[in-house]
Amino acid sequence: MAVFPPSPPPEAAVPEPSPELLARATAVRRAATGLAQTSDAERRGALLAMADALEADREAILAANRADLEAAATDGLAAPLVARLKLDAAKLDGAIEGVRQVAALEDPLGRRQLHTELDDGLVLERLSVPLGVVGVIFEARPDALMQIASLAIRSGNGALLKGGREASRSCAAIHAALQRGLAASSVNPQALELLTSRAESLAMLKLDGLVDLIIPRGSNQMVRFIQDHTRIPVLGHADGICHLYVDAAADLEQALRLALDSKTQYPAACNAIETLLVHRSVAPAFLERAVPAFAAAGVELRGDPAACALGVPHAANHDDWATEYSDLILSVRVVDDLEQALEHIRRYGSRHTDAICTTDPLVADRFLAGVDSAGVFLNCSTRFADGFRYGFGAEVGISTQTLPPRGPVGLEGLLTYRYRLRGQGHIAADYAAGARAFTHRSLPL
């Protein structure tokens, strides 16, 4: 279509990949091509070898982490970030055990998802296969590198990995161990490549054709930036503005327990609630107990006028409804009915996870059908929206996009499929001419 002019030249914000980066990424892709064709046993063996190598390099990894921590202290890194950066012996052992657990997961590859006879002797299959190469940008958390690398190899994918710079020494030590482990297995160690500079992770955004998926783990701003500067698909999540609606027919004791857990069990998590919606008819009784309970838990409540009239100490302004606090702050609104609650969630929610507390099955069904979020929950905490809790064994991330993979994403986020068609000289012209007709018969999977 002539209406679409050619794309503008690449923006200066994202540098072109250097020849050296292109060569490394090409080597990862080549290794991934071989990895995709390995057996379940070979990939399992590779993960166990990775775990063994990490164990052998234990002291070197812990020493590298101590050096990272010293530099962080000099730089005055904030305490929560230091906690994430720190890799003590127990945490390292847990991460190594995690690698072995991923090895034990069922093979996700080669599963037949579709099996159809198109015509006599012409049979179609759809099989799960690896994506190819994933690019993961993660926070300054050394254990994340071990987890991501093991998920990538288990699912037959090469990976370009870039950790937060505060963890650079730890990541280098871990990466060296992982590659040494792979070298002792039948998987090419080049399948795992560590990027070490900001320029490299930016240039990765231009590696279309060599990288099939980018998984940014970090701030909303980072995810947005990446989405805006790459043609490569991005698995990430922007805001997590989750709601709990306390219905007229709620068990108020249960509602308070759910509200407290959903807010305080880990307030910085994306699946923590930011807003509580309370049905007008139960608002007085509920808030009478909830206001002191949240105060005792250190949570600042911000309410609409009706909520404030019932004891919520701070007034919410318009921005509050659209804010992911990621902190011990909760906005509270009194609503007239279910419809108003649904409208509020549609307007301000981020389609992440929203819950209702009610004993009325009809209201529950209307909520569960009417809220279009990745997770719609009844009478349980929003904090269950998590790959481990869902039983996926491991999580590559959480996606707030609407397209699959949506919500908590396990190994399947690193997979795609391939159609395999076997014939005996079948040509399309015969069907176009009516000489042959399709049977389209489902065969057993």
Within residues 112-131, the interface with a second copy by CB under 8 A covers: 116, 118, 122, 124, 129, 131
Give the CB-side neighbour count of residue 382, counting CA atoms within 13 A.
32
The span of 50-58, 197-205, 284-292, 294-302 binding a second copy (CB under 8 A) equals 197-205
**What backbone phi and psi angles, to 5 degrees, belong to 125?**
-130, 155
Q: How far apart are CA 365 and CA 182, in angstroms?
A: 50
Q: Which is nearer to a second copy, 161 or 226 (CB)?
A: 226
Establish if 284 lies at the interface with a second copy (CB under 8 A).
Answer: no
Q: How far is the CB of 417 from a second copy (least distance, A)?
A: 6
- Please, what is the minimum distance in Å from the beta carbon of residue 180 to a second copy? 28
Residue number, 99 or 356, with CB nearest to a second copy = 356
DSSP letter string over 216-258?
A: E-S-HHHHHHHHHT-SS-B-------EEEEE-TT--HHHHHHH
Residue of the chain from 226, 299, 394, 398 that contacts a second copy (CB under 8 A): 226
Spell out, one character per residue from 318 to 337, where the chain touches a second copy: x when CB under 8 A holds, - when not: --------------------
97 vs 438 by CB, closer to a second copy: 438
Q: What's 393's DSSP letter?
A: S
Considering only 4, 19, 75, 318, the residue that binds a second copy (CB under 8 A) is 4
Judge whether 396 and 216 are in contact, CB under 8 Å: no
Interaction between residue 218 and a second copy (CB under 8 A): yes
Distance CA 102, CA 64 (A): 25
Residue 289 binds a second copy, judged by CB under 8 A: no
Q: Tell me how crowded residue 24 is: count the other CB atoms within 10 A of its CB.
A: 19
Binding residue for a second copy, selected from 75, 79, 80, 221, defined by CB under 8 A: 221
Binding mask 127-166 for a second copy (x = CB under 8 A): --x-xx----x--------------------------x--
Closest to a second copy by CB, 226 vs 276, is: 226
372 belongs to the binding site for a second copy (CB under 8 A) = yes
Say how far apart CA 372 and CA 379 lie, in whole Å: 17
Phi then psi dihedrals of residue 147, to 5 deg: -65, -50
Scanning 47-55, 169-177, 319-327, 421-429 for contacts with a second copy by CB under 8 A, the matching segment is 421-429
| Closest-CA residue to 146 (of 214, 194, 218) | 194
- In the three-class reduction of DSSP (H, G, I as helix; E, B as strand; rest coil), residue 302 is classed as strand
Among 18, 219, 292, 445, binds a second copy (CB under 8 A): 219
**368 is a site residue for a second copy (CB under 8 A):** yes
Please, which residue, 391 or 444, has the CB nearer to a second copy? 391
DSSP 295: H
Nearest C-alpha neighbor of 215 from the set 392, 397, 22: 397
Least separation in angstroms between CB 355 and a second copy:
8
Q: By CB under 8 A, tell whether 391 contacts a second copy.
A: yes
Number of other CB atoms surrounding residue 289 within 10 Å: 13
Closest by CA to 210, choosing from 164, 262, 159, 145, is: 159
Contact status: 236 vs a second copy (CB under 8 A): no
Q: Does residue 251 interact with a second copy by CB under 8 A?
A: yes
DSSP character for 358? -
Any contact of residue 74 with a second copy (CB under 8 A)? no
- Segment contacting a second copy by CB under 8 A, of 49-57, 92-100, 249-257, 291-299: 249-257
Q: Any contact of residue 33 with a second copy (CB under 8 A)?
A: yes
Q: Which is nearer to a second copy, 325 or 367 (CB)?
A: 367
Q: In whole angstroms, how close is the CB of 124 to a second copy at the nearest point?
A: 6
**Which stretch of DSSP H or E encloses residue 59?**
helix 58-75
Pairing relation of β-strands 329-335 and 273-279?
Answer: parallel
Report the C-alpha gap between 110 and 374 in whole angstroms. Answer: 27
Asked if 134 contacts 212 with a C-beta cutoff of 8 angstroms, the reply is yes
Least CB distance from residue 59 to a second copy, whole Å?
30
If DSSP codes are grouped into helix, strand and coil, which group holds residue 113?
strand
Q: Report in angstroms how near the CB of residue 300 gets to a second copy at its nearest.
A: 20
